[in-house]
Every structure is written in C-alpha cells, then in structure tokens.
C-alpha cells in the first residue's frame, strides 16, 4: 500500500465555515501537513496560490457563501493538484467533469477528510 502520510504536504483549505476550517487546519497540522489558508473565498484562495508555494492537494467546500468553488477546482486540476470536495449536495448534482473527484459529505468527519486528501495525493 502506498504511504498516504500528509507529512510535509502543502494542503490548501478553502472553507467558509470558520469553526470547520479551524478544526480541519488543526487536524492537518497534527498530521504533519502545512496548511495554506484556510481561505473563506475563491479570491483569497487564488491569492494564496499566487503568493505561496504550490499546494500538493486541496480541500474545497463546494459552496462558499453562495458562490460555487468549481472554477477554482478547474484551475487546481489543470495545474495537477489533487482536489477533495466537502459538500452537503447530492453527488449527482456535480458537473460530470468532477465525477472522479472525491467528495466528503457534510457534516464532515475530520479524520475521513484527512484520509481522503491523503488518498488523493498518494493514490
């Protein structure tokens, strides 16, 4: 089995729910990852991408205060960055191009999302 450790991995977290973003960032840090963000908006996420090192993976909330994260997901995927979505939406409501992107349903189990990003980074 591949090593799915998050040690020294840079993970972009894009989440607009402060407590969830904070808990997720802490869990990732505890797992040895470097957290980029958390960013509550697409604009701040793009700024983090522009100013910082490239992420090894990204955890994206699908709905950021009514704004779809899909354009950001497209940008990351085009750059070869593995993505995991967190969502309250039915998987059938996603555009077909994201059929193979892992999705973690809300309410989020933090250990499940960290395992999902580990699998995405180290398939």
Domain ranges of the chain: 10-121
pLDDT surpasses 70 at 1: no
- Residue 11 pairs in a beta bridge with 35, 57
pLDDT in tens, 37-65: 999 999 999 999 999 889 999 999 999 99
pLDDT value at residue 52 = 84
Closest CA to 110 of 44, 46, 59: 59
Residue 2: pLDDT band (50, 70, 90) is very low
pLDDT in tens, 67-114: 999 999 999 999 999 999 999 888 778 999 999 999 998 888 888 999
pLDDT value at residue 3 = 54
Reduced to 3 states (helix: H, G, I; strand: E, B; else coil), residue 106 is coil
Average model confidence (pLDDT) across the chain = 92
Superfamily of domain 10-121: Response regulator (3.40.50.2300)
**Entry pTM:** 0.93
Q: Which residues contact 110 (CB under 8 A, 6 or more apart)?
A: 23, 24, 27
pLDDT value at residue 5 = 86
């Amino acid at each position: 089995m591949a090593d799915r450790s998050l040690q020294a991995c840079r993970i972009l977290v894009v989440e607009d729910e402060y407590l969830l973003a904070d808990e997720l960032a802490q869990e990732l840090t505890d797992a040895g990852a470097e957290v980029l963000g958390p960013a509550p908006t697409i604009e701040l996420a793009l700024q983090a991408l522009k100013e910082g090192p490239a992420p090894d993976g990204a955890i994206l909330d699908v709905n950021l205060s009514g704004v779809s994260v899909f354009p950001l997901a497209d940008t990351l995927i085009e750059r070869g960055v593995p993505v995991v979505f967190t969502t309250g939406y039915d998987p059938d409501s996603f555009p077909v191009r994201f059929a193979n992107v892992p999705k973690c349903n809300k309410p989020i189990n933090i250990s499940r999302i960290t395992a999902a990003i580990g699998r995405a980074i180290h398939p």
